[in-house]
Structure 1
Amino acid sequence: MTALLAVDDDERVLNLIEIYMQREGFTVYKAADGTEALSILETKPVDLAIVDVMMPGMDGIDVMKEMKENYELPVILLTAKGELSDKEEGFRSGTDDYVVKPFEPKELLFRVRAILRRYDKPSDTVIRIGDVIIDRRSYEVQIGSRTMLLPLKEFELLAMLASNPNQVFTRDQLIESIWGLDFEGDDRTVNVHIKRIRERVAHLTDAIAIKTVRGVGYRLEVLQE
């Protein structure tokens, strides 16, 4: 499961991030200052950090620099300041994105997902479930001795579901992640693509199955390890 580290001296902000992001399927670690955040990174695997700029002691810019230097971690900076000069300092220092407080949790979620797609960790590049191998480098799906090249959106849908087995994704979540925020279609597009994926792979393997969660969305069920 993808893990986030939220760093802020405001407990209300930490709790907001934790509640919303956990509901979206993320693991969330919380730190009240930079020292605690860096201590967590020594023992916990983290995929992305959300860091407040204005903190006592070690400020968010310095915390971010440490994270970048020692952990090569993507970082979103949070700040109450909205001036262009402050954003410029954040980006010049290496931040991946910048969100001004007060923020909408859904906007933060969009930005988190966009950055994670850009980084796409090497450990997730090849997904193996039973006799199914999904290779994000070549966009190939190998099932047993057969190799297939799926249309891009079908491949991305299958890879997203397979990288989070047994996790339920709503149709809106799938649209946001695969088609993006500017997509003007509707959730029937997801239904059609899922149907095509099933038709391509269902008769080739008993290791996985894409299940419909009525009224919600879809999940990929692992039937054979």
Structure 2
Amino acid sequence: MNILLVDDEALELDQLEYIMKAHFPNWMFYKAQDASIALQVTEKVKISIAFIDIQMPGKNGLELAKELKNKYEMDIIMVTAFQSFEYAQLSLRIGVTDYVTKPIVESELLEILQRYKKWNSQSDSIQQVLLIFREEYHEKLTLSSVANRIHLNSTYLSRKFFEEIGIGFADYLNAYRLEIAKKLLTEHKEMSMAVIAERAGFNSQHYFSVMFKKQFQITPSEYRINPKRTREIIT
């Protein structure tokens, strides 16, 4: 299941992700620091729940929530530092599911997320695929080879994966590999781009660079110099 986190404060995004990932390890998190990036994410990925901060520069959270509700089927949870009756009324009119106040209290957030607990479990076959990704992302993994390993038809697995995860098999694998590459870029400054591409599972440095730039709007070299410049993060 895909979760969108929208807040102009990077620390707030990290905190939300940290709390939820510990309890919902199979969820995939997309983070955006403004409304425009959030809209770009929703155009590419089927989002199930969006956590949106109300106070943001440019288009505020309520405006973004209204636009998303008009375009897509998703649950929206507003995040605000202000316990305002007016905000609550506006949220209800838009059709948001709930709202949580800052600073985020883990117990309160988890209480809101109880209704989604059933979404945390995928079928055994998809769990097997995700485990293969985590353990063998650096190997050559194709839809047909993975399908054979778990004794499923590749067409069926492709459809099942998209239904349960909300993103295609290859897209998810690439996103996972890019996150591995980001860690290598920041933790191993001495490592060449070719080695990073290989260790992350990409078959060429050029393809790795193209995919990285497409996903994060920044080159791997630029990210290594200044990791904070990337505006969209998938984990």
Aligned residue pairs: how many? 131
Change (3 A) 1:3 1:103: same
Provide the residue aligned with 2:80 in structure 1.
79
The alpha-carbon deviation at position 111 of structure 1 amounts to 1.7
- Whether 1:16 and 2:15 are equivalent positions in the alignment is yes
Query: Identity of aligned pairs, percent?
Result: 29
**1:149-194 residue CA offsets vs partner (Å, 9 max, x unmatched):** xxxxxxxxxx9463763589xxxxxxxxxxxxxxxxxxxxxxxxxx
Question: Could you list the runs of 5+ residues in structure 2 that have no partner in the other structure?
Answer: 132-148, 153-235
Contact 1:21/1:27 (8 A) holds in 2: no
Amino acid at match of 1:104: V
Which whole-Å CA distance do the structure 2 matches of 1:76 and 1:116 have between them? 16
**1:21-79 residue CA offsets vs partner (Å, 9 max, x unmatched):** 23331211000011110011111222110000011100111100111111121100000
Contact 1:21/1:28 (8 A) holds in 2: no
1 or 2, which has the higher helix percentage?
2
Contact 1:96/1:115 (8 A) holds in 2: no
Provide the residue aligned with 1:56 in structure 2.
57
Change (3 A) 1:33 1:161: closer
Matches within 5 A, 1:105-184: 105-114=106-115, 160=121, 162=123, 165=127
Change (3 A) 1:76 1:46: same
Change (3 A) 1:15 1:74: same
Runs of 4+ in 1 over 4 A off after TM superposition: none
Provide the residue aligned with 2:30 in structure 1.
29
User: SS in structure 1 opposite 2:31?
Assistant: strand
**1:4-37 residue CA offsets vs partner (Å, 9 max, x unmatched):** 0000011111011122223331211000011110
RMSD between superposed Cα atoms in Å: 2.7
User: SS in structure 2 opposite 1:98?
Assistant: strand
User: SS in structure 1 opposite 2:77?
Assistant: strand
Change (3 A) 1:92 1:74: same
The alpha-carbon deviation at position 88 of structure 1 amounts to 1.7
Contact 1:48/1:116 (8 A) holds in 2: no
Amino acid at match of 1:112: L
User: SS in structure 1 opposite 2:127?
Assistant: coil
Question: Could you list the runs of 5+ residues in structure 1 that have no partner in the other structure?
Answer: 121-158, 169-221
User: SS in structure 2 opposite 1:29?
Assistant: strand
Which whole-Å CA distance do the structure 2 matches of 1:34 and 1:116 have between them? 27
**1:125-155 residue CA offsets vs partner (Å, 9 max, x unmatched):** xxxxxxxxxxxxxxxxxxxxxxxxxxxxxxx
